[in-house]
């Protein structure tokens, strides 16, 4: 194989439609734009949401609520889900992700107290409820909190 012989597979690339190249081309004269009107003109664009002069839906509906740009969305892990780990294991986001308990290892993780724990674990999460930390401590383990990234 040589660089000068490389080409796309036949049929993998469609040729562009050449508009306005004579009446016989099938796309001549009006070039597929129809006759007259705003959409046939050069620069004739209609803004997003325009409804022909009728009051647009976006302006007919009332404004409601507020969305904070600083809200932190935690991935939640319950104490009951940690039972499957062996004693003296260090549990962090990477381990939880590998076990399929969280969807990614980057977003912050919060430990909640649903369920019981009988094995000693070292849990390293972004946040934990007081009752969850107490349950881990009661089982002989510890909870270390890392700052939210």
Instruction: Give the CATH number of the domain where residue 81 resides.
Output: 3.100.10.10
Residue 98 structural domain:
75-145
Three-class secondary structure of residue 125 per DSSP: strand
Q: Report the DSSP pairing between strands 75-78 and 109-112.
A: parallel
Rounded to whole angstroms, how far apart are CA atoms 63 and 48?
Answer: 19
Asked if residue 51 is part of any domain, the answer here is: no
Asked if residue 50 is part of any domain, the answer here is: no
Asked if residue 113 is part of any domain, the answer here is: yes
User: Which stretches within 41-144 are classed as H helix?
Assistant: 57-60, 93-98, 130-138
The 3-class SS string of 73-84 reads: CCEEEEHHHHHH
Asked if residue 92 is part of any domain, the answer here is: yes
Asked if residue 97 is part of any domain, the answer here is: yes
Per-residue pLDDT of the chain (149 residues; tens, 9 = 90+): 899 999 999 999 998 999 999 989 889 999 999 999 999 999 989 999 999 999 999 999 999 999 999 999 999 999 999 998 999 999 999 999 999 999 999 999 999 999 999 999 999 999 999 999 999 999 999 999 986 44
pTM over cut 0.75: no
What's the total number of domains in the chain? 1
Asked if residue 133 is part of any domain, the answer here is: yes
Asked if residue 64 is part of any domain, the answer here is: no
């Amino acid at each position: 194989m040589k660089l000068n012989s490389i080409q796309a597979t036949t049929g993998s690339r469609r040729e562009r439609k050449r508009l306005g190249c004579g009446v016989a081309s099938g796309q001549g004269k009006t070039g597929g734009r129809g006759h007259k009107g705003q959409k046939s003109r050069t620069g004739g664009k209609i803004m997003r949401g325009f409804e022909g002069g009728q009051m647009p839906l976006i302006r007919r509906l009332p404004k409601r609520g507020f969305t904070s740009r600083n809200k932190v969305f935690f991935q939640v892990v319950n104490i009951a889900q940690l039972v499957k780990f062996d004693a003296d294991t260090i549990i962090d986001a990477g381990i939880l992700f590998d076990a399929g308990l969280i969807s990614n290892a980057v977003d912050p993780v919060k430990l909640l107290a649903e369920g019981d724990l009988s094995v000693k674990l070292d849990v390293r999460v972004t946040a934990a409820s007081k009752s969850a930390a107490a349950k881990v401590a009661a089982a002989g383990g510890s909870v270390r909190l890392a700052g939210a990234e």
